[in-house]
Amino acid sequence: MFDYYYIVLVVPTLLLSLYAQFKVKSTFAKYSQIQTQRRITGKEAAKLLMRTNGISDVGIQQVAGSLSDHYDPAGKMLRLSEPVYDKTSIAAVGVAAHETGHAIQDKEKYGPLVLRSTLVPVANIGSTAGPYLALAGIIFSINLLLNLGIILFAVAVLFYFVTLPVEIDASRRALKVLESNAVLSQDELRGAKKVLTAAALTYIASALTAMANLIRLILIARDRR
């Protein structure tokens, strides 16, 4: 029954995650080869968009890796990866604008972002310790450990689902400010939207995979009663 739940619930979402990773990498690679008409870099686009939205307390740093871009609300820092920071491609500008969208959310105290930031400490514990506690509960037949693991992991799953509206809204804001500030042409905006849509799919896949694993643990716990 343990393997049955894994095959039926988890494997399909893992396949979706693999497809999502392939899609975001291939789409990003494609639009990284297409330069914007304005030849504006990711860093320059982020600075422009933050300035036009009245944000002056957020810094911009370059970080190593690819697709490692993120906004740190605690440190008030926009961190852009090497293929984004000083590149003038449609992908670079789109990703930089997306991260700027998070900075705009932070300035406006966007509810889901505030909730996600609050959940981070517990979600980190839940995503790491939760499955191990549940596994220990199964191996040693200790229902208390199994149930505690499920509860902790449920918080992590909640975090994944709270992340979805945060990311989708950031992309919506990004495309809006890119258009209103004439950073990208209409054709370029369509390319940027494809990049951000592909990225959103990875978050959806992660949330579904986490939910599938949670349901699997709940069903295992039910079968043990």
Predicted model pTM = 0.93
Greatest distance between any 2 Cα atoms in the chain: 64
Residue 53, SS3 per DSSP: coil
In the residue annotation, 167 being an active-site residue is answered as no
**CA–CA separation, 103 and 100 (whole Å):** 5
Q: Which of 161, 73, 77 is nearest to 117 (CA)?
A: 73
The pair phi, psi for residue 88, each rounded to 5°, is: -110, 25
For the chain, which residues make up each domain, given as ranges?
4-224
Catalytic residue among 44, 82, 99, 108: 99
Output the tens digit of pLDDT for each of the chain's 225 residues.
456 889 999 999 999 999 999 999 999 999 999 999 999 999 999 999 999 999 999 999 999 999 999 999 999 999 999 999 999 999 999 999 999 999 999 999 999 999 999 999 999 999 999 999 999 999 999 999 999 999 999 999 999 999 999 999 999 999 999 999 999 999 999 999 999 999 999 999 999 999 999 999 999 999 887
